[in-house]
């Protein structure tokens, strides 16, 4: 079974076929998959069939597993395999994990380099995941904006008091393990492809060092409006058997609540350890 990798859009995404990540893979395939991940930022690996343990094996082709903040959201019997689902309701409002554009766990001093999902149950339609290239968004900024944001650093907390959405409940044990806020450059250099990228997250960013909150929020809003334009996007329509892995250093992503909530959407979720973001 030959592994093929096909680019999906000009800026983001590649589709992988002909590989079964439940089984050990050879060194060439391993290297090719990791090169494609760094080059295309999102890999859609088709036709997989995983137990939670298989999914761990597959994810580790790309790095080392990282625990989630909400440890209680784990698959029963598998404390280190997590899930996202559409069944949590807080104060009468349904929590859709990832509903606005963000990058994962940026409140950590060393945020995860990657996140991966495996589709277990999907709605009959809708529930796409959108990805935008933060490399291309940065490249296209006017020079005056590049100069303005070059040395700025943002404070990322677990949930910003300015967050556009609730992150839902977190239990006391998990809350205790939340690390101190991450203070990260607004523009980071990717440690593997060396490209600069915007590093934004309105869910977590509570301040920019040396700026009044009002000015910081206005700047983040302006950069978000720029970065989330459709021209930077790959929109993933989920199919059964899809494992999708994305590079949190290169893209933001968001989930869509545009489906029948009587239908269950349930995906296994794992993250991979990253390093402290470095400015340009
Ligand atoms: Fe997310």
CA of 199 to the centre of ligand 1 (A): 14
pLDDT at residue 243 greater than cutoff 80: yes
CA of 248 to the centre of ligand 1 (A): 9
How far, in Å, CA of 103 to CA of 274, rounded? 13
Cα 61–64–69 angle (5° rounding)?
Answer: 130
Is residue 118 within 8 A of residue 51, CB to CB? The reply is no
CA of 249 to the centre of ligand 1 (A): 13
Longest dimension (CA), the chain: 57
In the chain, where the domains are located? 4-272
User: For residue 53, what is the enclosing H or E element?
Assistant: helix 52-59
User: How would you classify residue 27: left for phi > 0, otherwise alpha for psi between -120 and 50, otherwise beta?
Assistant: alpha
CA of 38 to the centre of ligand 1 (A): 18
CA of 254 to the centre of ligand 1 (A): 7
User: For residue 196, what is the enclosing H or E element?
Assistant: strand 196-198
Confidence of residue 138 (pLDDT cuts 50, 70, 90): very high
How far, in Å, CA of 107 to CA of 266, rounded? 25
pLDDT digits (tens, 9 = 90+) for 181-226: 999 999 999 999 999 999 999 999 999 999 999 999 999 999 999 9
Report residues near ion ligand 1: CB below 5 Å: 98, 104
CA of 102 to the centre of ligand 1 (A): 6
What's the confidence (pLDDT) of residue 240?
Answer: 97
CA of 208 to the centre of ligand 1 (A): 22
Strand 65-66 to 205-208 pairing? unpaired
CA of 269 to the centre of ligand 1 (A): 10
How far, in Å, CA of 174 to CA of 114, rounded? 21
CATH (residue range 4-272): 3.60.130.10
pLDDT at residue 1 greater than cutoff 70: no
pLDDT at residue 257 greater than cutoff 70: yes
How far, in Å, CA of 58 to CA of 137, rounded? 30
pLDDT digits (tens, 9 = 90+) for 23-69: 999 999 999 999 999 999 999 999 999 999 999 999 999 999 999 99
């Amino acid at each position: 079974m030959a592994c093929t990798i096909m680019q999906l859009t000009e800026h983001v995404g590649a589709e992988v076929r002909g590989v079964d990540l439940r089984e050990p893979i050879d060194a060439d395939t391993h290297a090719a998959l990791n090169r494609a991940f760094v080059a295309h930022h999102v890999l859609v690996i088709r036709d997989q069939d995983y137990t939670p343990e298989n999914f761990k094996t597959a994810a580790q082709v790309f790095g080392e597993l990282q625990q989630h903040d909400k440890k209680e959201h784990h698959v029963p019997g598998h404390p280190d395999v997590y899930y996202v689902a559409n069944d949590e309701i807080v104060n009468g409002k349904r929590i859709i994990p990832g509903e606005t554009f963000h990058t994962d766990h940026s409140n950590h001093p060393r945020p995860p380099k990657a996140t991966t999902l495996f589709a277990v149950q999907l709605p009959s339609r809708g529930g796409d995941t959108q990805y935008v290239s933060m490399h291309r968004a940065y490249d296209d900024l006017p020079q005056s904006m590049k100069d303005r944001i070059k040395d700025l650093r943002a404070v990322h907390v677990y949930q910003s008091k300015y967050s556009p959405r609730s992150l839902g409940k977190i239990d006391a044990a998990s809350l205790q393990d939340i690390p101190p806020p991450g203070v990260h450059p607004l523009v980071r250099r990717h440690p593997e492809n060396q490209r600069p990228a915007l590093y934004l997250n309105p869910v977590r960013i509570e301040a920019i060092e040396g700026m009044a909150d009002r000015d910081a929020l206005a700047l983040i809003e302006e950069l978000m409006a720029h970065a989330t334009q459709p021209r930077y996007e790959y929109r993933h329509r989920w199919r059964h058997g899809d494992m999708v892995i994305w590079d949190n250093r290169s893209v933001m992503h968001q989930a869509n609540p545009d489906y029948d909530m009587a239908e269950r959407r349930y995906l296994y979720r794992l993250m991979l350890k990253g390093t402290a973001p470095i400015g340009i």
